[in-house]
Structure 1
Amino acid sequence: MTSPWQRRRQPDDIPTPVAVAVSDFCRRAKSPAPAPEVREALALLAEEEDFRVRALTDGEPETSPLGPFAVVDILRGTAPSVAAQRQSCGYYDVARELAYVREEKTPPRAPAPDASIPSFASPAAAKAAGDKAAKKGAKAEEASVMERIAPKKRAAPVDEETTSAPPESDDGHSFLRRDLPRPRGRFTRVEAPRTPFVELTRATGKEILEATLEGSEHRFALLRNLSHRFNGSRGDLSLVDLETVLRDHGLLDALQEKERLQLLDAYTSQRGATGRVGWALGVSPPELQRLVSAAGLTEEVEALRERFRREALATSHLTHRLDLLGREKYLADLGIQRKFNDSLRKELERLLRDDLPGATDLHGLCDAVGRKYGSPSELIFRAIERLGLAEGLRKQLHPGLPPSNS
């Protein structure tokens, strides 16, 4: 009996437009799948069913998530809602494994007999031969069952220099691939040897450092660019080694001035947010602190951050303040989130109190305040919910209603 999870053709025989259509359909159904998985699923369908695949994928998904095996299941008659449930619980992962095992266990088909070659066997002999072949097939199937349930023998270790493990797909399934010898000669991939540190201390080292400094924003970027090419005095190239050789060649002052300009520009453009400055310069927080200290900008950076703190707390434009409320990470970085929230809460309570008598519901109250002060009502409603004012306002608008559990 033919299983529904058995290949009807090879994955490489799937037409590319059909595979692309299914891949796009799965993306729209919130279950994107890699190209090999899409082709494995479509291999379960015969070639004459490709038009049904295109008819389904040309429309919009009725539900989600739906992967490529769910598409095949829907074409077999399964309801889209049931297919989505199966996709969520991992049913199609088992189906994919079953299809892979069946394909691996299926023996290759025997070549069809050539009709041009005459057969001299009698009908009775042909029937006897068929019965004998059927018995052999049953014995072979029984033997394969015994092989599957028999204890596995541990294979002998294989030399890693000549063979490698078969590649795995995204979901862990391994696919057989012919073992190839490792590249030799001019095709061998080896890591280039690193130059000794002493080369950087010589006169030619200054030219190398100057050329590398042009493409490096700071000393940590310079260290990353040089560590692949040079060793340090005691192993890997360290920041102490780099600073020492820069000082000996008279390049450290120029680098510090360059870092100073970079840091001031970054803190100004990021409005004092330390996390954003580190992300822009490509350094970690300890490295950023080291750069600020080395450039002598500790007081200037703190003065910049204090300026942006005062601006955030002193701004009188309601829309700007409501927008800042949504930038929680920025306020937390400046260390003023709690103070800003308390100040905005008091201001909103004062503004809402004036229009509260004429309002019938919370959204109408937000619309009235928004029209009065030129701010979007959605931002006002979001601020009321975030600052914990919604429940008290609903009680004032509808005194007889029970308290909400939300």
Structure 2
Amino acid sequence: MRIAMIGTGYVGLVSGVCFSDFGHDVVCVDRDPAKIEMLEAGHVPIYEPGLEDLMVRNVEAGRLSFTGDLKAAVAGADAVFIAVGTPTRRGDGHADLTYVYAAAEEIAAALTGYAVIVTKSTVPVGTNRAVHDIIARVKGADEFGVASNPEFLREGAAIDDFMRPDRIVVGVESDRAAAVMEAVYRPLYLRDFPIVRTDLESAEMIKYAANAFLATKITFINEIAALCERVGADVKSVSKGMGMDKRIGDKFLHAGPGYGGSCFPKDTKALARIGQEHASPQSIVETVIAVNDGVKRRMLDKVLDLCGDSFNGKTVAVLGVTFKPNTDDMRDAPSLTIVPSMVGGGAKVRVVDPQGRKEGEALLPGVEWCDDAYCAAKDADAVVILTEWNEFRALDLSRLAKGMRTPCMADLRNIYHRRDVEAAGFKRYEAVGR
């Protein structure tokens, strides 16, 4: 199969590389010449474990290439994937579909034979029909098909998610388009990974509903964590007890500073907006959004309490600023709410993150970047764990405490136990829901 992947962002690049590893001939397209040059040189613009090595291997095998020429990439393709950004639109919370529709117009002009136009980007219900209409203005009905194929990739584990998916969702309305999609995913089909064939609208809704539900689980356990603090319960025990129920499951039941990243904030807002537009308010999702914002503020209050109710003149070490470990993504990370508030309150903030500095320097002005936790915590009044990188899970707590002016810790990811932290010399330890 010959595949054109329009967009080399997180979804497009991971998908294109993995499709080429299936044995397909893949051409990835991007308008940014600097990004194409970087990719051709064998470097990826994002941090995703294993992605660069897999990309280089498939380029060397002749199955993967990069170009800025969309027309050349689309000509002769069996499937053309749209994997461009759909950021939250300012003002109304809806997904901005400008890039999706622009790509559809260019694809329509470039098609040279039958191809399936596959929307990989996360888009509101009805978008694939709009893409169909755009192309139909240029091409006849027998010259193309349209499919909705949402992605379910976790940053930091994207390759494994692509190669061993829980399910592949394919929204199509013709057997011909379905046959193309089956051929695209044939290596997974042969290994009995489930492929869910449905209509366009259901495929679009599955993506939003799944992400909103996971965001709800995170927000639910964060509210339970706040209650645990008041009644003396331990949220980790509560989460474990809940998660052992197979109807609930143990994933996304870890209390912390709220969800962030490229998907949950954007998709929950978009789903809420879709509900409003169709006179079917998504009250639970709207509440999840509001509660998640409040969780971040509550975490800030924990740190403020450690600092004696004032950040002015205090030094705070922040361990981790990306929204989760094993990624350099800082989109809607809790750190973007918590750290600027500390700086604005007069704190001297030192930051260490294995991958966050590239984006963080522009997003977190006024902080000092350090190479390790011990450097960041030297003479500090508090240390705050915001992202649970493995590097922070086995720190020499005694060394950390001895280097601090006031050994206090806000463990906002619950990666340590109070007894261990206090035994190491910390005077105060604040966790979440414990």
Q: What TM-score results when the alignment is normalised by the length of structure 2? A: 0.21
Q: For CA contacts below 8 A with separation 6 or more, give which structure has more relative contact order.
A: 2
Structure index of larger Rg:
1
Question: TM-score by structure 1 length?
Answer: 0.22
Larger strand share, 1 or 2: 2
